[in-house]
Structure 1
Amino acid sequence: MRPPRFEALLVNVAKDLPGVQRVATLAQAEHTAHPNGIAIQFASGAQFWWQITAVSAPGDVYSTEEGPAVTGPSAEPRPAPDLTAQPLRTAAVEEALAAAVAAASDEVASVDTFSNRTPAPAIGYGLAVRFHNGATIFVNGLAHVRAGATRPSGYLNLPAV
């Protein structure tokens, strides 16, 4: 699965998360520095922005049409955390996205979260989504926007909001 198609999948699954008021692509949120990603706004007004990057499947060339979907056993189910608790923790949003993506498509082979890795990665929150075709999509925690603000107060610094 390539980033644009994954972005559409992520928008669709994020809309159904508890407490979500609005989901938009980063382009729709007027953030054009990153070509793929989503902005999730919760009922509290807080937003979490997630950038999408990828490692293509072996032999895949993005300048050509995407090949047929490769499916296989579903990813391991994950529990969905409570997203109605305040303050809303970035790790809870990350885990909710992981659970939703794992259940979304039989193209997904596995989903790992960044915040559970030891040692801690450079990007503290995000997902590594591995596909049956050998591709990997990374959903990197990019920024947060506090309730009432229109732009992020910081990038890659995602405290509870």
Structure 2
Amino acid sequence: MRLDSFHTFAVSALAAAPDVQSAQPWDRGAEHLRGVHVTLVTGAQFWIGLTSAAAPGDKWVGEETPVEGDRPAEVPFPELFDSSKKASLARTSCYFAAAVINSGNAQIASAYAFSSGRGFGVVFHDEAKGFARFHHNGRAGQGLGGQPFNSLQEAV
């Protein structure tokens, strides 16, 4: 799956998760390619940058040829919020990876949370990979602030 398709897919898969209020494309400006702005039902927000690695032999020239395979088995959504209704980076990474797995997309081979708790990855049946890294997060009503990655709050 190429970057444009991954972007479209990520927006729809995250928007469909039960504890997500909305997922919208995030315009990261001229020097960046793709992003998603996710708002949780509590109002907490995550701005996620997307990148991808091409499938072996794919030069991203011409039409994309989707490769489908067995869909991953659905997994239970992990608990997103702690007792104070905050979502940590680690919990959110696991939750968003589950949203991708549970999307039902036949191009998805697997998805996983980053061990750093700062995003998630996707492996496609064509052996391409997608990477979703948290750039910013914030509480309800809070906007972007600070430098990407350095301003991440452990829980929002």
What TM-score does the superposition give when structure 2 sets the normalisation length?
A: 0.84
Query: What corresponds to 2:87 in structure 1?
Result: 88
Question: How far is 1:11 from its partner?
Answer: 1.2
Residue in 2 that maps onto 1:66: 64
Find the aligned partners of 2:19 and 2:112 in 1 and give their Cα distance.
23
Residue ranges of structure 1 left out of the alignment (5+ in a row)? none
| Selected match of 2:155 from 149, 156, 160 | 160
Letter in 2 for 1:10: A
Partner of 2:14: 14
Return closer, same or farther for 1:53/1:70 CA change in 2, 3 Å cut-off.
same
Match of 1:78 in 2: 75
Contact 1:45 1:147 in 2 (8 A): yes
Aligned AA (2:38): I
Q: CA deviation at 1:4?
A: 1.3
Which residue in the other structure is 1:37 paired with? 35
Alpha-carbon contact 1:75-1:109 (below 8 Å) kept: yes
Who is 1:145 aligned against? Answer: 138
Is the partner of 2:12 in helix, strand or coil? helix
5+ residue gaps, structure 2, are none
Contact persistence 1:144–1:153 (CA under 8 A): no
Residue 108 of structure 1 corresponds to which residue in structure 2?
108
**Equivalent position SS for 1:40:** strand
The answer on whether the counterparts of 2:121 and 2:132 sit within 8 Å (CA) in structure 1 is: yes
Other-structure match for 1:98: 97
Given that 2:21 and 2:39 are in contact with CA atoms closer than 8 Å, whether structure 1 keeps it comes out as yes
Matched, 1:26 2:26: yes
The separation in 2 between residues aligned to 1:112 and 1:21, in whole angstroms, is: 22
Percent of aligned positions with the same letter in both sequences?
31
Distance 1:7 1:152 in 2: 23
Superposition CA RMSD, Å = 1.9
Runs of 4+ in 1 over 6 A off after TM superposition: none
1:18–1:83 Cα contact (<8 Å) kept: no
Distance 1:148 1:52 in 2: 23
